[in-house]
């Protein structure tokens, strides 16, 4: 897949996820096979621009390009300004969020609520495309609700406005995260426009990835929750799509190196207070379903400092390597965390709804 001057290879994109896809997680996914990683959304509201959260979300220091910033809002001028601001901070692609169902975003008629107002969609996209020299992409759901699936119409508006790639999450706004994603609408979108289409929703393994590509004809796939605690899913999917074969999951040694590097990165990026808290959900996801994982989860949840948390993870990794030299995931049941809207039960997720929109 090509977006402007950028060849996205492999065509596997890390989904923007507020409270999850910070720079450490994006970097882990890129190192382990993702071709592109979208940053957590930042509000286009200029009053929120200088919050610590917005600044951290816009910090791309040392990140592998192309760097993608996602902006959310409903005012064309604010979004145009936000796009310029993020390009000045290093973004090489700007993604506009019209897919988020979070209440706070929709209440101010941003996120997926915009799908109800097609003329406004057109004005926003034209304003942002005109504001920056970098490619602008768009992320949508299939519509507001099942009775008004207008993704094809919005895709045409997007193409007309100069949007250079379109991601479609196969659910309506009303669906939230319930039920299963459907891919027929994504296939119809693909058939209606010439810009690259990225299919998203419920892709959690290599076979599923291939099935979604076949069902939609999409140019690329975007993966979110399936990569929780499994940033190597991207290389597994890339390998499967290229060869039809299954790549073995990381062995205990590699698993330990990945988890410890990610943990160190979280601590360095977020600092002690936020870092220790944020690491809890990631470690919870990493050990989800692994024998004895709940013991480590308990320890990292109780730890209040970097040293204690790291020591717990390191000790657990040493035990794991002594006990399980082979395939870590083979020892774990083939289950994944339970997701309920934006809150995930596994790993003691601490993402509060009000954190989502910034």
Ligand X SMILES: Cc1cc2nc3c(=O)[nH]c(=O)nc-3n(C[C@H](O)[C@H](O)[C@H](O)COP(=O)(O)O)c2cc1C
For ligand X, the binding residues (CB under 6 A) are: 15-20, 40-41, 70, 97, 99-100, 139, 169, 200-203, 223-226, 342, 351
Rounded least distance, CB 139 to ligand X, Å: 5
170 φ, ψ to 5°? Answer: -75, 45
CA 248 to chain centre: 24
Alpha carbon distance 355, 358 (integer Å): 6
Alpha carbon distance 313, 297 (integer Å): 9
Residue listed under structure tokens 């979070």: 102
Residue listed under structure tokens 């996602």: 70
Rounded least distance, CB 90 to ligand X, Å: 18
Element (H, E) at 317: helix 306-323
Given the complex with ligand X, which of 43 and 92 has the nearer CB atom?
A: 43
| Beta carbons within 8 Å of 52's beta carbon, 6+ residues apart | none
Alpha carbon distance 209, 13 (integer Å): 12
Q: Please choose, from the candidates 52, 47, 119, 54, the residue with its C-alpha nearest in 3D space to the C-alpha of residue 86.
A: 54
Q: Please choose, from the candidates 126, 127, 153, the residue with its C-alpha nearest in 3D space to the C-alpha of residue 140.
A: 153
Rounded least distance, CB 40 to ligand X, Å: 5
Rounded least distance, CB 230 to ligand X, Å: 12
Alpha carbon distance 66, 15 (integer Å): 14
For residue 117, give both structure tokens: 């107002």
**Are the C-beta atoms of residues 358 and 289 closer than 8 Å to each other?**
no
Rounded least distance, CB 21 to ligand X, Å: 8
Q: Please choose, from the candidates 250, 252, 247, 268, the residue with its C-alpha nearest in 3D space to the C-alpha of residue 310.
A: 268
Based on the residue annotation, tell me whether 29 is a catalytic residue of this protein. Answer: no
Catalytic residue, chosen from 29, 100, 106, 317, is: 100
Given the complex with ligand X, which of 13 and 317 has the nearer CB atom?
A: 13
Given the complex with ligand X, which of 100 and 313 has the nearer CB atom?
A: 100
- Cβ-based neighbour number of residue 248 at 10 Å: 13
Rounded least distance, CB 257 to ligand X, Å: 25
**Are the C-beta atoms of residues 185 and 152 closer than 8 Å to each other?**
yes
Alpha carbon distance 176, 100 (integer Å): 9
Alpha carbon distance 183, 171 (integer Å): 9
Of all residues in this chain, which one has the CB nearest to ligand X in the complex?
224
Given the complex with ligand X, which of 281 and 310 has the nearer CB atom?
A: 281
Rounded least distance, CB 135 to ligand X, Å: 17
- Catalytic positions: 100
């Amino acid at each position: 897949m090509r977006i402007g001057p950028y060849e996205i290879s492999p065509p596997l994109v890390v989904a923007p996820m507020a409270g999850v896809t910070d720079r450490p997680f994006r970097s882990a996914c890129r190192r382990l096979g993702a071709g592109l990683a979208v940053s957590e959304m930042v509000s286009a509201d200029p009053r929120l621009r200088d919050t610590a959260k917005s600044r951290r979300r816009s910090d791309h220091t040392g990140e592998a390009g192309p760097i993608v910033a996602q902006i959310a809002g409903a005012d064309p001028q604010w979004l145009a300004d936000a796009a310029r601001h993020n390009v000045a901070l290093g973004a090489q692609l700007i993604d506009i969020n019209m897919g988020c169902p979070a209440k706070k975003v929709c209440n101010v008629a941003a996120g997926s609520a915009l799908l109800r107002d097609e003329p406004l969609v057109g004005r926003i996209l034209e304003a942002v495309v005109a504001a920056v020299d970098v490619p602008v992409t768009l992320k949508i759901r299939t519509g507001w609700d099942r009775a008004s699936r207008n993704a094809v119409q919005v895709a045409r508006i997007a193409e007309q406005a100069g949007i250079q790639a379109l991601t479609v999450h196969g659910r309506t706004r009303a669906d939230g995260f319930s039920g299963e994603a459907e891919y027929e609408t994504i296939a119809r979108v693909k058939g209606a426009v010439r810009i690259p289409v990225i299919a998203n929703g419920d892709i959690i393994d290599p076979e599923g990835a291939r099935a979604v590509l076949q069902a939609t004809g999409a140019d690329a796939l975007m993966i979110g929750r399936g990569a929780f605690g499994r940033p190597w899913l991207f290389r597994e999917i890339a390998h499967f799509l290229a060869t039809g074969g299954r790549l073995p999951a990381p062995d205990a040694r590699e698993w330990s190196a990945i988890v410890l590097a990610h943990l160190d990165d979280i601590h360095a990026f977020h600092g002690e207070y936020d870092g220790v808290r944020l690491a809890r959900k990631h470690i919870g996801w990493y050990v989800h379903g692994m024998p004895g994982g709940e013991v480590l989860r308990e320890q990292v949840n109780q730890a209040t400092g970097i040293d204690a948390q790291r020591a717990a993870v390191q000790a657990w990794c040493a035990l794991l390597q002594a006990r399980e030299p082979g395939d870590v995931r083979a020892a774990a049941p083939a289950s994944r965390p339970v997701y309920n809207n934006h809150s995930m039960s596994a790993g003691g997720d601490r993402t509060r709804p009000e954190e989502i929109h910034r």
